[in-house]
C-alpha cells in the first residue's frame, strides 16, 4: 500500500507536468507578444477634414463638380 501511495503523489503524475508546461508556455507566449507589440510603433491616424467614426465620415461629401 505504501508503494501505491508513493506512485499517486502529484509530482509523479505526467498530466500535472503537462498542464504546468502548457501554462508556462502560454504565459511566455503572452509576454513575448506584449514585448513584440511594444516595439512596433503605431502610425498616427490620418484624421483629414471632418469627423469620422470607425472610418466613416459623419457628414455628406460635397457633390462632384461637372
Q: CA-to-CA distance for 3 and 1, rounded, in angstroms?
A: 5
| Domain boundaries of the chain, sorted by first residue | 1-40
Given pLDDT bands bounded at 50, 70 and 90, which one contains residue 5? Answer: low
Phi, psi values for residue 58, rounded to 5°: -90, -10
Percentage of the residues of the chain whose pLDDT score is greater than 70: 71
Q: Please write the tens of the pLDDT for every residue from 36-55.
A: 999 988 777 666 566 666 77
Amino acid at each position: 500500500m505504501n508503494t501505491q501511495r508513493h506512485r499517486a503523489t502529484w509530482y509523479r503524475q505526467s498530466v500535472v507536468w503537462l498542464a504546468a508546461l502548457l501554462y508556462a508556455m502560454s504565459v511566455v507566449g503572452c509576454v513575448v507578444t506584449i514585448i513584440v507589440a511594444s516595439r512596433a510603433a503605431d502610425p498616427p491616424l490620418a484624421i483629414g477634414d471632418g469627423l469620422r467614426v470607425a472610418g466613416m465620415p459623419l457628414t455628406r461629401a460635397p457633390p462632384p463638380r461637372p
